[in-house]
Chain A
Amino acid sequence: MKIKVAGIGLTKFGELWSKSIYDLSLEAASEALLDAGLKIQDIDAIYVGNMLSGVLNHQDQLGAQVASLLKTNAPALKVEGACASGGLAVYTGIQALLAGTSKTVLIVGVEKMTDASPAQVSAALMGAGSEDERLAGLTFPGLYALLAKAHMQKFGTTKEHMAHVAVKNHYHASLNEKAQFPFEITVEKVLRSSRITDPFTLFDASPITDGAAAVILTAADNKKQKTRNKKDVFITASSIATDTIDLSKRESLTELKGTKLAAKKAFTQAGISPSDVDVVEVHDCFTIAEIIAMEDIGFCKKGEGGEYIKQGNTKLGGKMPVNTSGGLKACGHPVGATGVKQIVEITQQLQKRAGKKQVENAKVGLAQNVGGTGATVVVHILQV
């Protein structure tokens, strides 16, 4: 499979009170078109990754909405898979290219969250959980806390291990002007901030964020499109796996089976192994999620993720930097935009356009995007 990344666009992530869901979508999409050197007439189809536009922005039919903002009559679809909506939209666009029904597609990931109250957002996000979980008064910080407690019970993972994920990702965000929290924090700060669930403090959690990201993908044999003055970046694997929506119905509480399955499929598609990867974006909606992702993708042994991260292997300058954007934790997590932002970040890294957060000699990148507690997992591999 060879799909070329023709262009990328990304808005600032944060509490963007002056910008609507429409402003954000248009800004990211326009930047991607400009980056690709294309006009909207060159786009055969549009895929919009978004979770909550109907609930939080009272805007459904978001595909046509984005198309009309861009003044095109091209086919346009909204793709939803909770926090994996962005990754799913990229996957869907790729399927259209592989099927040959489109030559060039635009993917826009967007979420406008800060117009609603945190309690409204929290309740809306629980739409990605099961009915039993909602009736038990669970939240996503609660569900991931259950995963964290299971990991702590089985492998001795500590709150300090988890804090190191937040500290590292804040350091990366401090080098990223688009990040919501571009500043550093300490392990003590994480451990001493207010408790949200047992064992998480506020700094174990990703924030509520506004933002949008866009990518333009084209069939690699599309001669019409040339990447100007930039290295060609190819998507060499795109895979999805699903699992039970209800966390309690899983075979194991210390892994996300969806990640294991999707990653395995992706490595087979790309014909590479975990040791070939130079730079990674994983779905660190909570600190424990990054630890579990590292283990499930195969970057370290099961149970050793906390120690692996604490030792600095995944920090910029380390063996294999992870979440150089700052991750969901510190770059921010506009849910529908996240999976697309990961592709933008990896593309920047492989094209040596990542600025202060540039990973040296990065040639292979991987992105893992998770919906809910792992009911949907999308994995992409990008290469130069």
Chain B
Amino acid sequence: MNNPPTIWRKTKELHKYIGKKGKIVVATKIFVAPEGFEHEVPYTVAIIEFEDASRKPLQVVDLTDELEPGQQVICVIRRIGKVEASGLISYGVKAKPL
């Protein structure tokens, strides 16, 4: 939900993930996207396992090679979904290869 209170609540959690490292457990590529993500296809999403053994699904960006299980990644802050010229910008966590 792209409304101010939701974005505000989420933004408060973002710092916990900046620079957090983990590895790819399993990854897929999306060719048919849900509303708001259509402009990004094809994009990669993976289940990441962090060093504290917790797991989270994240979009993986800045990819040059095919993603393999075990690949090391680091969390970065990126825009989430489509941003309209006059709309709110939602920031969230994505992962990129280390």
Distance A149 CA – B56 CA, assembled complex (angstroms):
17
CA distance A132 to B35 in the complex (A): 16
Complex interface: chain A residues within 8 A of B40 (CB): 137
Tell yes or no: A74 within 8 A of B by CB.
Answer: no
Instruction: Tell me the residues in window 47-98 of chain B with beta carbons closer than 8 Å to chain A beta carbons.
Output: 47-48, 55-59, 69, 80-81, 92-93
Q: Known contacts A136-B45, A136-B58, A253-B47; is A149 also within 8 Å of B34 by CB?
A: no
Residues in chain A near residue B25, CB distance under 8 A: 150, 248, 253
Q: How far is the CB of A345 from chain B (nearest CB, A)?
A: 29
The 3 closest A-B pairs by CB, nearest first: A145-B28, A198-B29, A248-B55
CA distance A126 to B69 in the complex (A): 25
Does B18 interact with chain A (Cβ within 8 Å)? no
Q: Confirm or deny: A141 has a beta carbon within 8 angstroms of a beta carbon on chain B.
A: yes
A119 to B38, CA, bound (A): 9
Could you write out 27 A-B pairs with CB less than 8 Å apart? A122-B32, A122-B34, A123-B34, A132-B56, A135-B92, A136-B45, A137-B30, A137-B33, A137-B40, A137-B81, A138-B57, A139-B32, A142-B30, A145-B28, A146-B28, A149-B27, A149-B28, A150-B25, A196-B32, A197-B29, A198-B28, A198-B29, A247-B57, A248-B48, A248-B57, A253-B25, A253-B47
Among the listed B31, B36, B57, B58, which residue makes an inter-chain contact with A195, where contact means beta carbons less than 8 Å apart?
A: B31
A150 to chain B, nearest CB (A): 5
For B28, list chain A residues within 8 Å (CB): 142, 145-146, 149, 197-199
The smallest beta-carbon distance between A55 and chain B, in angstroms, is 12
Chain B contact residues, CB within 8 Å of chain A: 25-38, 40, 43, 45, 47-48, 55-59, 69, 80-81, 92-93
A side interface size, CB within 8 A: 32
A347 and B31 CA atoms in complex are apart in Å by: 39
A247 touches B47 (CB 8 A): yes
Distance A138 CA – B27 CA, assembled complex (angstroms): 11
Q: In the complex the two chains form, is B45's CB within 8 Å of A142's CB?
A: yes
Q: Mark A114-147, 1 if CB is under 8 A from B, else 0.
A: 0000011011001000101111111101100110
Q: How many Å lie between the Cα of A245 and that of B40 in the bound state?
A: 25
**Alpha-carbon distance between A130 and B57 when the two chains are bound, in angstroms:** 10
A138 touches B30 (CB 8 A): yes
Point out residues on A near B: beta carbons under 8 Å.
119-120, 122-123, 126, 130, 132-139, 141-142, 145-146, 149-150, 153, 194-199, 246-249, 253
From B33, B55, B80, give the contact of A139 (CB < 8 A): B33
B59's partner among A136, A149, A247 (CB-CB below 8 A) is A136
A150 touches B32 (CB 8 A): no
Assess whether B30 is in contact with A248, with CB atoms less than 8 Å apart. Answer: no
Are A119 and B34 in contact, CB atoms less than 8 angstroms apart? yes
Q: Which residues of A contact B31 (CB under 8 A)?
A: 194-197
A195 and B33 CA atoms in complex are apart in Å by 12
Further contacts, 6 of them, CB under 8 A, given A135-B93, A246-B57, A247-B57: A119-B33, A119-B35, A137-B33, A137-B45, A139-B33, A195-B31
| Structural contact, A135 and B80, CB atoms closer than 8 A | yes
Closest to A137 in B: B37
Interface contact A150-B26, CB-CB below 8 Å: yes
Q: Note all chain B residues with C-beta closer than 8 A to A120.
A: 35
Q: When A146-B26, A149-B27 are in contact, do A248 and B47 touch as well, CB less than 8 Å?
A: yes
Q: CB-nearest residue of chain A relative to B80? A: A135
Query: Which residues of A sit under 8 angstroms from B81, Cβ to Cβ?
Result: 137
Shortest A285–chain B CB gap in Å is 15
CA distance A249 to B49 in the complex (A): 10
- The listed residue (A133, A141, A150, A194) touching B57 by CB distance below 8 A is A133
Asked if residues A249 and B55 are in contact (CB atoms below 8 Å), the reply is yes
Shortest CB–CB separation between residue B1 and chain A, in angstroms?
9
- Cα A248 to Cα B55 with chains together (Å): 6
- Of the candidates B27, B45, B92, the one having the most CB atoms from chain A within 10 angstroms of its own CB is B45
The residue of chain A having its C-beta at the shortest distance from the C-beta of B55 within the complex is A248
Q: Residues of B contacting A194 with CB < 8 Å?
A: 31
Complex CA distance for A141 and B25, rounded to whole angstroms: 18
Which of A122, A141, A150, A248 is in CB contact (< 8 Å) with B56? A248
Chain A residue contacts of B30, Cβ below 8 A? 137-139, 141-142, 197
Q: Cβ of B26 and Cβ of A139 under 8 Å apart?
A: no
A137 touches B32 (CB 8 A): no
Give CA–CA (A15, B50) in the complex, Å.
44
B27 / chain A contacts, CB cutoff of 8 Å: 146, 149, 198
Q: Complex Cα distance A130/B48, Å?
A: 15
